[in-house]
Amino acid sequence: MLALRFTIQGRVQGVGFRYFVLHHARQLGVKGFVKNLPDGSVLVEAVGNEESVYSLMDLCRQGPPRARITGFLVNDALYTDYEDFIIK
């Protein structure tokens, strides 16, 4: 199992980014959460098998059509046994 945190910067709030991530995370079987941060970025915590987490990371780098990604930070996360993937 792999646990990563992605912080996505740019035009990522108000463009359906969290719902985009939610949809793809659930399709991939990734658990965790996505939430807007006060600085205008989006935080994703993703836990799952390595292939699925990396697939979600690649999708987050692209984002939904109206998003414009200007920064993408990846950090290790502590493994948490999430039951689902949610929007916080």
| pLDDT number for residue 37 | 98
Q: Any catalytic annotation for residue 66?
A: no
Which of 18, 26, 61, 68 is an active site residue?
Answer: 18
CA 70/CA 51 separation, integer angstroms: 24
Reported as a single tens digit per residue, the pLDDT across 43-71 is: 999 999 999 999 999 999 999 999 999 99
Q: Any catalytic annotation for residue 18?
A: yes
Residue type for position 61? R
Cβ-contact 6, 46 below 8 angstroms: yes
Split at pLDDT 50, 70, 90, the class of 3 is very high
Which of 36, 49, 61, 68 is an active site residue?
Answer: 36
| pLDDT number for residue 23 | 98
Cβ-contact 85, 7 below 8 angstroms: no
Which domains does the chain possess?
2-87 (3.30.70.100)
